[in-house]
Structure 1
Amino acid sequence: MEPFRFVKAQDNLAAIRAAGINQAKFIAGGTNMLDLMKLNIETPKQVVDINKLSLYKIEELQNGGIRIGALVKNSDLSYNPYIIKNFPVLSEALLSGASPQLRNMATTGGNLMQRTRCPYFYNTDFACNKRVPGSGCAAITGYNRMNAILGTSDKCIATHPSDMCVAMAALGAIIHVQGPKGSRAIPFADFHLLPGQTPHIEHNLKQDELITHVEIPALPFAVKSYYLKVRDRASYEFALASAAVALDIQNGTINGARVALGGVGTKPWRSLEAERALIGAPANAQTYRTAANAALAEAKPHKDNAFKIELAKRTLVRALTTVEGMS
């Protein structure tokens, strides 16, 4: 680990000012950042502790949505009664990730900033364009069973690891940030960036901007939502494929749908193609399979992960079938 200066911020503005120096990083739970620092993948010159900031509230909004502070712990969010009742897909996604010990430390804002778990990113003996821009992508020609099949480029096929973010993508969350020039709101779909030719640029956040809270807009049919995660073992494992879905079914017809996939994309993958295939169609197995085919139509597999196409389709069909059974 490289030497660094440690600063404890007392309020938002102090944190933003401290982050303005080159190579400064915020730290809260540290469940990802500390690992990266120990491996010299992240080498900040200044680490800004934001745990004293007043960003711990979960607030119900009058319109039926909810506001989640950036420092809310994953465990607190997953067991929040309002979330369980109105946005069960989010609670289920959180509880499927990591372990109870990590969920007790990990924060909402930290989860949004979580970096890939691609083994070539973590092993500094291998080329990785995320870690060292222009060095190459060892995963493309290496063992890539866990890597992405959607949103990839010739520079990067790393999978986004978060479960929480898949549910938030499906729910159309809005990320609120504060910087020296004021505050702004970023639609969830615009926050994480595709790798393209610059895989080291992973999000739409400036160096000195602080995530303050996440807003989940009202979505009445989200009470009938579900998160399904398929993985190699039952706990403490990243997804091979996952699906976050919500359906509004009236008289056997799908009037509204939200679909997002995890474990297969370079970012949390909301599938508008699947949603279009679902809306207006009958709620049945054929419709679900059509939607799954639409969701994976642009998939680009590599030598070890072609199985993910069919796995993701089956995962999505099963998740949709489960939500239909809630009606």
Structure 2
Amino acid sequence: MRPFNFEKVNSGAEASAAKSQNKQFVAGGTNLVDLMKKNITQPDILIDITKALSNTIEHQNKGVTIGAMASNTKVATDKKILRDFPLLAKAILAGASPQIRNMASSAGNLLQRTRCPYFYDVTMPCNKRKPNSGCSAIEGENRMSAVAGYNNQCVAVHPSDFCVGLSA
């Protein structure tokens, strides 16, 4: 992983003002740090947004508002979510280790980069990583990754456990 600088912001307005070409937002970092270690993404500056966004869970009559910074653990163990949205809690709990759930933010889980197992192998062609380079998964071991929403350029699936629970 190459060196980078680190900035902290305290509000959404500060985050918007700080964002530029070679800067990337980071919260839990569970996906971004992996991408940086593999040299798939190489921002010059990380902008810590953990203090800029809400981590609350607010329940309304027929729904719930989940703050972008609410950890996956906080969401999956919330008593009202367990009662009213059990599939969401179950999907989150099934998807990652407790350590990752404790660090991962709900927004990060939803916004993580779509990928397949070949995405992390920089020696293999990957249209997600480098457009028009090819898709190793189409003819490879994981060609059946996507059962809906695939195309002949890429068969990667969205890796979010959160999305599975929300879409069900």
Tell me the TM-score range normalised by the shorter chain: over 0.9
Q: Does 1:114 align with 2:112?
A: yes
Query: Which residue number corresponds to residue 32 of structure 2?
Result: 33
Q: 1:174-208, CA deviations, whole angstroms, 9 ceiling, x for partnerless residues?
A: xxxxxxxxxxxxxxxxxxxxxxxxxxxxxxxxxxx
Report which of the two structures shows the higher radius of gyration computed on alpha carbons.
Answer: 1
Query: Which residue number corresponds to residue 72 of structure 1?
Result: 70
SS of the residue corresponding to residue 104 of structure 1 reads helix
- Please state how far the C-alpha of 1:119 moved relative to its aligned partner: 2.0
Q: Which stretches of structure 1, 4 residues or longer, exceed 3 Å deviation after superposition?
A: none
- Please state how far the C-alpha of 1:148 moved relative to its aligned partner: 1.2
Unaligned runs of 5+ in 2: none
Query: Which residue number corresponds to residue 89 of structure 1?
Result: 87
Query: Which residue number corresponds to residue 242 of structure 1?
Result: none
Identical residues among aligned pairs (%): 49
Number of equivalenced pairs:
168
Q: For the residues of structure 2 that align with 1:117 and 1:157, how far apart are their CA atoms? A: 9
Whether the aligned pair in 2 keeps the contact of 1:22 and 1:45 (CA below 8 Å) is no
- Please state how far the C-alpha of 1:2 moved relative to its aligned partner: 2.8
TM-score normalised over the length of structure 2:
0.93
- Please state how far the C-alpha of 1:5 moved relative to its aligned partner: 2.5
- Please state how far the C-alpha of 1:117 moved relative to its aligned partner: 4.7
* Correspondence 1:2-41 to 2 at 5 A: 2-19=2-19, 21-41=20-40
SS of the residue corresponding to residue 62 of structure 2 reads coil
SS of the residue corresponding to residue 48 of structure 1 reads strand
- Please state how far the C-alpha of 1:56 moved relative to its aligned partner: 0.8
* Correspondence 1:170-249 to 2 at 5 A: 170=168
- Please state how far the C-alpha of 1:161 moved relative to its aligned partner: 1.7
Q: For the residues of structure 2 that align with 1:46 and 1:93, how far apart are their CA atoms? A: 32
Unaligned runs of 5+ in 1: 171-327
- Please state how far the C-alpha of 1:24 moved relative to its aligned partner: 2.1
Larger proportion of helix: 2
Q: For the residues of structure 1 that align with 2:46 and 2:125, how far apart are their CA atoms? A: 26
Greater RCO (CA < 8 Å, at least 6 residues apart): 2
User: Superposition RMSD on alpha carbons, in Å?
Assistant: 1.4
Whether the aligned pair in 2 keeps the contact of 1:118 and 1:146 (CA below 8 Å) is no
Correspondence for 1:136 among 126, 134, 137:
134
Larger proportion of strand: 1
